[in-house]
Structure 1
Amino acid sequence: MGVTIDLNAIRENKRRIEALGRPVFAVVKNNAYNLGMKPVVTTLYEEGVRHFMVTTLDEATEVRSSAPDARVLVMNPVYEWTSVHEQQLDVAIGSYDWLVAQRSQLDGVRLHLKLDVGMNRFGAKTYDEALAILAYCQDEGLDLVGLCTHFPLADADNAEIEHSVHVERFADWSTRLMERQTFEVVHAANSAATLQADPRLGHCTHVRVGIFLYGYSSVEPVDWLIPAFRWETEVIAIHDIEAGAHVGYGTGYTAESRERIAVLPIGYGDGLMRARRHLPVHIQEKAFPFVSNIFMSHSFLRVDASVQIGDRVELYGNTTKIDDITRTGYANNSEQLCARSWRVPHRYEGGNVCTPPTNQFV
C-alpha cells in the first residue's frame, strides 16, 4: 500500500509531447511536482531532455546532480551567485532594475529575458522595458541566450479569449526583439498552451511543459497522456452503526439509517486533500463514497458487506484520476500532487534510478 510513481509513463508522455513538433523544456519545480526530483530528472535526462526549469537555486542544484550537462534555468530572481557560477546555471531576468543591480555578478551567466504579458510576477512589463534590457545586455556584452514568458490564463475557463491577448502580446514583443537579437532558446507554451498549437508561437524553439509530463491536464481531457501517479491504502476497521450515529469529529455526518462504515488510515496529514471526498474511491473495482470529512489521519467510507478489513482501496489510479477531482472544481491537479506527504510509503516503477531511502514499500 502507498504511492506508486510510474517512470515509464513520464518517458512516454515526454515522447508524445515532442511528437507534436518541438523538444521539451521540462518544468521540474517543487520536487518535480512532488514526484521526486532525482528519479524524474534522471528519467527525462536519459530520454534526451537537455533543458530543465526550476524556481529556486536549491532546486537547480538538485537537477544539476542528475543532469550534468543540461541547461538548468532558475526563474525566481537570483541574489546569491556562488552556485550559479559554480554550476553554470541559466538565470531569468526579473526586471531592468534587477539587471542593473546585479550587473557585477552577470559576466559568464546565461540569461533569459522574460516578458511579463499579464502574470505580474517577474519580467519586463512593457515592450520598452524589454527593449531597454536587451540594449543593456548588448552594451555590456552579457550572454543573453533565452527569450520567454508565462501565460497566466492558459488553463482557465476563459482561456480561449484571454489567453489570445497574452499570446498576441508575446508574439508582438518577441518578434520585434528577435529582429535585434538572436536567441538560442525561445520558450513560452506551458502544458495547456501546448495543445493549442497557436501559429503565433511558431517561432518558439521549445515547449515548456510541467503537468503534462506527469500525465495530467487541467484543461480538456487529453486521452494520450498517461498518469504517472497511483495511491492506494487499505481498510483498517469496519463498524456497523445505527441511524442517528455520527462519524468522525463533530456532527458533520449523521447516519440516516443503519450503515456499514470502513475506516482508512489516511488523511490530510498525509496530503489527501479534503477535495478528494467529492468522488468515490474503489475497492475491487466497486465505488464507495466518503462520509463525514477527511481528517488528519483517517477517512471514512460507506461500504457494503463485500468490504473486509485489509481490502485494498484505490484513492488515485486507473479508475479515479487526479484530473477527475480537478474537474469537480474543488482542487487542481498540481495542488493535489504537491499536497502529498512523503511520510506515505513510495515506490518507483519502470526505471533504474535511486529511490528515496525511507518509506519504501514492496
Structure 2
Amino acid sequence: MQEYYRDTWAEIDLDAIEHNVKQIKALHPTKEIFAVVKANGYGHGDVEVSKVAIEAGVSCLAVSGLEEALCLRKSDIDVPILVLGMTRLCDVSLAAKYDISLTAHDEMWIKELVSLPLEKSVKVHLKIDSGMHRLGLMNEEQIQTNFALLKSAPMVNLEGIFTHMATADCDKDYLSHQIKTFKRLIAKLDLSEVKYIHLENTATLLQKEFDFDHGIRLGLGLYGINPDAKFIPIDFELKPALKLLSNLVQVKQIKKGDKVGYGATYTAQEDEWIGVVPIGYADGWTRSHQGRHVIVEGHECEIIGRVCMDQMMIRLPKSFPMGTKVTLIGDKMPVERVAEEIGTISYEILCLISDRVPRVYKRGGKTTNIKKMRFE
C-alpha cells in the first residue's frame, strides 16, 4: 500500500457507494443504471468507484470524454461506457476499437460520422436538446432525419437516445416541460431496436412524480448527495462517501493586533490560538473559503486570513497538539453546507479537490488502497 507524505487526504468510503447504488436500485428495480463517473468520479476516483458500483448492480458507466473512458477500459472495466460529451471525428475509430459508445449531438457531426471508413462499427446515443440548450438536436424534422441516417449507416450501431434536464433540482414546471418535449420529439421514432432511452439524472429520479420507464444516469446520488434536499425530500438514506481531512502542522499563540496571512486581511481582536493546516487553493480549497469554518475536535474553527496556495490558518478555541485532525468535509461539515456558504454547488466543491490530495479508500472501516493520483 502506497504512502503519502503530507497531512491532507480525502477519505472515500466505498461501502457508502455500494449502499447508494442499492438504494437507487430498490427505488427503480427495472431500470438500467448508468453510473456517472466523469471528472474522476466527481473527485472520488473513477476506477475505484466504478468497480464498486458495478459490483452493487450498476450496468453501465458514463463519462465526459474519450480519455476518461479509455482510462476505465485500461483498468479492466468491460461494462458499456457512454461518452456524454463531444468526441472528435478523428477519434471515432479508437472509440470503436475499445467498444466505447459516443454521443451523436450535431447534424454536421452525424453526417461526417456515417461517411467515415471505419473497420469496426461504433455505438452511438442520439442526444436530444429538450430545453437545456447545450448539446443535442432540437428540431423534430432534424431529429427524424438524423435518427434514420444513423439507423441506416452500416458501421453505426444506434443503441441509445437521451436528453438532459436543466432544472430537476429547482423548477418542477420546466422539468415537466422538458420531459414532455422529449417524449414529443421521439414519439414518431421507431425505438424498438434502441437499447437505452434515458433522461433521468439524480435530481429527476428522486422525484417519483416524474418517473420515466427507461434508463437513469446516477450522478451526485451515487456519491451520497441529494442535489437539493430542501427541494427534493426523500424517504431513504443516501450516505456521503467522501471526507476531506487534514492535520494541524503548527499551533501558536498570537497577540492582540497581530495580522495573519497574505494582505494582512485578518487582525486578532485579542490574544488568540491559531493553527496552520496544510491545504490551500492548489488542492482545490479556494480563497473563497476565508471566513468559513472547519471542525477540530467538535469545535467550529474559523478560517482566518487568505487561503494560501498550500496552507491556511484557522482560529482555535485553545491550544491543540500538532497532528490534531481537521475536518473540512465530513462529520458536522457536509459538502452541501460548504457549497452553500461560498455560493456554489456540491459538484464544484468535490470536483475541485486536486490530484495533489491522496485518496484513501476504505471498506468495512479499513483502508484498502491509497491512491496518489499525480504519480499514477
TM-score (norm 2): 0.87
Q: In the superposition, relative to structure 1, how do residues 306 and 23 fare at CA in structure 2: closer, same or farther (>3 Å)?
A: farther
| Separation of aligned partners in 1, 2:245 and 2:151 | 55
| Separation of aligned partners in 2, 1:309 and 1:111 | 54
Look up the equivalent residue of 2:24 and give its one-letter code. I
User: In the alignment, which residue of structure 2 is the partner of 1:163?
Assistant: 175
| Separation of aligned partners in 2, 1:17 and 1:342 | 29
User: In the alignment, which residue of structure 1 is the partner of 2:205?
Assistant: 194
| Separation of aligned partners in 2, 1:146 and 1:341 | 33
User: In the alignment, which residue of structure 1 is the partner of 2:51?
Assistant: 42
- Offset of residue 327 of structure 1: 2.6
User: In the alignment, which residue of structure 1 is the partner of 2:297?
Assistant: 284
- Offset of residue 212 of structure 1: 0.9
Q: In the superposition, relative to structure 1, how do residues 304 and 278 fare at CA in structure 2: closer, same or farther (>3 Å)?
A: closer
Deviations 1:223-270 (A, max 9, x none): 611111112111122232223221101131122222222111211112
Check if 1:97 corresponds to 2:108.
Answer: yes
- Offset of residue 279 of structure 1: 3.8
Match of 1:268 among 281, 292, 306: 281
| Separation of aligned partners in 2, 1:186 and 1:14 | 20
Q: Which moved more, 1:238-247 or 1:5-14?
A: 238-247
| Separation of aligned partners in 2, 1:240 and 1:61 | 51
Check if 1:12 corresponds to 2:22.
Answer: no
Match of 2:74 among 65, 69, 90: 65
- Offset of residue 282 of structure 1: 1.3
Map of 1:131-142 to 2, 5 A cutoff? Answer: 131-141=144-154, 142=156
Q: What secondary structure is seen at the aligned counterpart in 1 of 2:265? A: coil
- Offset of residue 329 of structure 1: 5.0
| Separation of aligned partners in 1, 2:368 and 2:351 | 21
Map of 1:142-161 to 2, 5 A cutoff? Answer: 142-155=156-169, 157=170, 159-161=171-173
Identity of aligned residues (%): 28
Look up the equivalent residue of 1:202 and give its one-letter code. F
Look up the equivalent residue of 2:256 and give its one-letter code. A
| Separation of aligned partners in 2, 1:138 and 1:238 | 66
What are the ranges of 5 or more consecutive residues in structure 2 without an aligned counterpart? 1-6
Deviations 1:45-65 (A, max 9, x none): 222322111121111112223
- Offset of residue 281 of structure 1: 1.2
Contact 1:96 1:132 in 2 (8 A): no
| Separation of aligned partners in 1, 2:342 and 2:275 | 26
Contact 2:251 2:319 in 1 (8 A): no
Contact 2:126 2:161 in 1 (8 A): yes
| Separation of aligned partners in 1, 2:308 and 2:343 | 17
User: In the alignment, which residue of structure 2 is the partner of 1:82?
Assistant: 93
Match of 1:28 among 31, 37, 40: 37
Contact 2:20 2:238 in 1 (8 A): yes
User: In the alignment, which residue of structure 1 is the partner of 2:4?
Assistant: none
Look up the equivalent residue of 2:165 and give its one-letter code. F
- Offset of residue 181 of structure 1: 4.7
Contact 1:114 1:124 in 2 (8 A): yes
User: In the alignment, which residue of structure 1 is the partner of 2:314?
Assistant: 301
| Separation of aligned partners in 2, 1:30 and 1:5 | 16
What are the ranges of 5 or more consecutive residues in structure 1 without an aligned counterpart? none
Look up the equivalent residue of 2:198 and give its one-letter code. H
Look up the equivalent residue of 2:70 and give its one-letter code. T
Q: Which moved more, 1:165-174 or 1:27-36?
A: 165-174
Q: What secondary structure is seen at the aligned counterpart in 2 of 1:327? A: helix
| Separation of aligned partners in 1, 2:368 and 2:109 | 39
| Separation of aligned partners in 1, 2:296 and 2:199 | 42
Contact 1:217 1:333 in 2 (8 A): no
| Separation of aligned partners in 2, 1:16 and 1:275 | 34
Contact 1:5 1:349 in 2 (8 A): yes
Contact 1:218 1:327 in 2 (8 A): no
- Offset of residue 359 of structure 1: 8.2
Q: What secondary structure is seen at the aligned counterpart in 1 of 2:269? A: coil
Say what the alpha-carbon RMSD is for the aligned residues.
2.4
User: In the alignment, which residue of structure 2 is the partner of 1:258?
Assistant: 271
Contact 1:266 1:299 in 2 (8 A): yes
User: In the alignment, which residue of structure 2 is the partner of 1:219?
Assistant: 228
Check if 1:313 corresponds to 2:331.
Answer: no
Match of 2:142 among 100, 120, 129: 129
Q: What is the aligned residue count?
A: 355
User: In the alignment, which residue of structure 2 is the partner of 1:3?
Assistant: 10
Q: Which moved more, 1:237-246 or 1:142-151?
A: 237-246
Look up the equivalent residue of 2:308 and give its one-letter code. F
Q: What secondary structure is seen at the aligned counterpart in 2 of 1:146? A: strand
TM-score (norm 1): 0.90
Check if 1:356 corresponds to 2:367.
Answer: no
